[in-house]
């Protein structure tokens, strides 16, 4: 396959699912491996474009795999820092004969209630949380707490559908938070957690 960027079929590629600026370090990784970076991101102009950018939804695995096939003969690896694209990255790696995590393991890692329970079993992050079936369930959880609540989709990413509700928040505010979170979750599942006060850290990992 003649590559449109390099003009050769021998080009090695790293596929980055998501054009977040923190992924820009992959350029250095690629250069050390004599490779190029293909970025898949739904934005017209992502912060990180790599050597080539394809405008696609990183959650749509079939479309992403077909697009990668059209460009990449030799894959170094596929990578993502977005939990929404972990299965897509795993499928691309498997497509090129690389090892991938089990699909059920990735599904658990994307599901926040399951992760909360896993942390709890290890004695970590002992916070109140509840999967709320309806608004009344959410109201009960919020009113039983001593402070703010954070309402979020059970399995979404990038802070989509997340609302912090003050302790004094009224019924309509909780309805709006429930509706927003439900709309952003693939299964309409809503998670309520007590809001933990402190410094927030975001950690990007490759491994």
Residue whose token pair is 């449109």: 4
pLDDT score recorded for residue 4: 52
Query: Cα(133)–Cα(191) distance, rounded to whole angstroms?
Result: 9
What pLDDT, in 10s, does the model give residues 114-156? 989 988 899 987 889 999 999 999 999 999 998 999 999 998 7
78: its two tokens? 């596929």
Question: Are 84 and 95 contacting, i.e. CB atoms less than 8 angstroms apart?
Answer: no
Query: Cα(100)–Cα(206) distance, rounded to whole angstroms?
Result: 14
pTM given for the model: 0.70
Residues of the chain with pLDDT under 70: 1-9, 203-207
Helix axes 86-95, 61-71, angle to 10 degrees: 40
φ, ψ dihedrals at 127, nearest 5°: -120, 155
């Amino acid at each position: 396959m003649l590559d449109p960027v390099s003009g050769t079929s021998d080009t090695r590629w790293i596929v980055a699912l998501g054009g977040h600026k923190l992924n820009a370090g992959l350029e250095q990784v690629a250069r050390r491996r004599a490779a190029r970076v293909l970025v898949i991101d739904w934005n017209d102009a992502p912060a990180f474009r790599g050597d080539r950018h394809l405008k696609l939804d990183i959650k749509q695995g079939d479309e992403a795999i077909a697009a990668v096939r059209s460009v990449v003969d030799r894959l170094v690896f596929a990578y993502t820092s977005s939990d929404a694209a972990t299965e897509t990255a795993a499928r691309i790696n498997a497509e090129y004969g690389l090892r991938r995590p089990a699909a059920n393991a990735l599904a658990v890692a994307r599901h926040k209630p399951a992760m909360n329970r896993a942390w709890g079993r290890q004695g970590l992050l002992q916070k109140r949380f509840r999967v709320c079936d309806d608004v009344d369930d959410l109201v009960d959880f919020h009113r039983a707490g001593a402070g703010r609540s954070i309402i979020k989709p059970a399995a979404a990413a990038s802070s989509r559908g997340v609302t912090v509700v003050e302790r004094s928040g009224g019924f309509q505010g909780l309805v709006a938070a429930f509706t927003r979170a439900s709309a952003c979750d693939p299964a309409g599942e809503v998670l309520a957690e007590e809001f933990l006060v402190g410094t927030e850290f975001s950690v990007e990992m490759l491994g």
